[in-house]
């Protein structure tokens, strides 16, 4: 264990908020079987890796480049670790996988709305945007073809917007957006893991619903940080803390402690701890 990782463990709560979110993210893939797990970004990738190493061993994963691996690849410079490849997954094969539906991706969109529609393109007016981001990337195809979850490191009304997102990049459960005759049957929005809670779209009429609150966070606080009305699940729980075994796997998967950089000041997993 390196020094920074030791520092994190020595926090009073015993785990950081990022580590809590990694475990929550890993739960998104529970029960998925043989699908390609694509976690884009530090927490989603560690979540997918942790899922594969614990409860979802059949997941397909890549080395975050071109090859499939059965042992998830630790993040960052690899030292002595040499990935063992089990297959090949070039970009064109990823697209083929997307269209066939055998994938569950977790990405971090810039905006999400009450319908689960996501935006990665521009904020503001389309012709002269306030902020130009990446472009729609693969969101239109991903969202209409396979399971998707989302990661939001800074839960706020700027991300969870009132009304609809500025440029619908990923589709959601907004009937008015669907042309007559289009097939919405493959749309499958699973979890949203944020720095405050875990949500899903299993509320009434696909409403966004809080399914667990992170330790020390109230529903009112989550609602205040969200631009649309949320539901709360009857069985809403406190987000499960990482076990020692999970923390050890996370440390192995992230030897350079990149997870400490995801949330400002790397706060502890238990609020106020």
**Residues of span 129-148 touching other proteins by CB under 8 A:** 129-141, 143-145
The angle subtended at Cα 225 by Cα 224 and Cα 231, nearest 5°, is: 70
The dihedrals phi and psi of 15, each to the nearest 5 degrees, come to: -155, 155
> What is the distance between the alpha carbons of residues 232 and 262, in angstroms, rounded to a whole number?
27
Comparison of 180 and 264: residue with beta carbon closer to other proteins: 180
| Contact status: 219 vs other proteins (CB under 8 A) | no
User: For residue 217, how many C-alpha atoms fall within 13 Å in the half-sphere facing its CB?
Assistant: 26
Nearest distance, CB of residue 58 and other proteins, angstroms: 23
> What is the distance between the alpha carbons of residues 35 and 30, in angstroms, rounded to a whole number?
11
Nearest distance, CB of residue 215 and other proteins, angstroms: 31
Q: Which of 43, 32, 36 is nearest to 68 (CA)?
A: 36
Nearest distance, CB of residue 13 and other proteins, angstroms: 30
Number of residues that bind other proteins (CB under 8 A): 50
User: For residue 127, how many C-alpha atoms fall within 13 Å in the half-sphere facing its CB?
Assistant: 0
The interface region with other proteins, picked from 4-12, 53-61, 118-126, 209-217 by CB under 8 A, is 118-126
Q: Are 268 and 17 spatial neighbours (Cβ–Cβ below 8 Å)?
A: yes
Question: What secondary structure letter does DSSP report for 241?
Answer: P
Of 10, 126, 163, 234, which one interacts with other proteins (CB under 8 A)?
126
> What is the distance between the alpha carbons of residues 211 and 231, in angstroms, rounded to a whole number?
9
What is the contact mask toward other proteins in residues 41 to 70, using x (rule: CB under 8 A)?
A: ----------------------xxxxx---
Nearest distance, CB of residue 119 and other proteins, angstroms: 9
User: For residue 50, how many C-alpha atoms fall within 13 Å in the half-sphere facing its CB?
Assistant: 28
**Residues of span 170-209 touching other proteins by CB under 8 A:** 170-171, 174, 177-184, 186
| Contact status: 127 vs other proteins (CB under 8 A) | yes
Report the C-alpha dihedral over residues 263, 109, 211, 113, rounded to 10 degrees: 130
Nearest distance, CB of residue 134 and other proteins, angstroms: 5
Comparison of 7 and 65: residue with beta carbon closer to other proteins: 65
**Residues of span 79-98 touching other proteins by CB under 8 A:** 90-92, 95, 98
Residues lying near other proteins in the complex (CB under 8 A) are found at: 63-67, 76-78, 90-92, 95, 98-99, 121-122, 126-141, 143-145, 167-171, 174, 177-184, 186
């Amino acid at each position: 264990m390196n020094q920074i990782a030791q520092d994190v463990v020595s926090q009073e709560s015993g785990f950081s908020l990022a580590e809590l979110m990694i475990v929550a993210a890993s739960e998104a893939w529970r029960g998925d079987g043989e699908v390609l797990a694509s976690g884009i970004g530090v927490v989603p990738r560690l979540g997918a890796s942790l899922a594969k190493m614990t409860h979802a061993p059949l997941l397909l994963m890549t080395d975050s480049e071109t090859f499939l691996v059965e042992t998830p690849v630790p993040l960052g410079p690899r030292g002595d670790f040499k990935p063992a490849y089990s297959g090949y997954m070039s970009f064109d094969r990823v697209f083929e996988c997307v269209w066939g539906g055998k994938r569950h991706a977790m990405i971090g969109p810039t905006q999400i709305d009450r319908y689960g529609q996501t935006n990665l393109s521009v904020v503001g007016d389309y012709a002269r945007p306030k902020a130009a981001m990446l472009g729609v990337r693969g969101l239109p195809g991903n969202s209409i073809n396979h399971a998707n979850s989302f990661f939001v490191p800074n839960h706020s009304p700027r991300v969870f917007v009132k009304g609809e997102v500025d440029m619908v990049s990923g589709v959601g459960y907004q009937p008015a957006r669907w042309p007559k005759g289009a097939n919405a049957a493959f749309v499958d929005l699973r979890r949203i893991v944020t720095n405050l809670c875990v949500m899903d779209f299993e509320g009434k009429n696909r409403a966004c619903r809080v399914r667990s609150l992170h330790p020390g966070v109230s529903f009112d606080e989550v609602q205040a940080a969200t631009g649309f009305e949320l539901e709360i699940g009857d069985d809403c729980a406190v987000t499960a803390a990482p076990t020692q075994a999970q923390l050890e796997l996370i440390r192995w998967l992230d030897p350079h402690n990149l997870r400490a950089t995801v949330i400002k000041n790397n706060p502890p997993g238990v609020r106020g701890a």
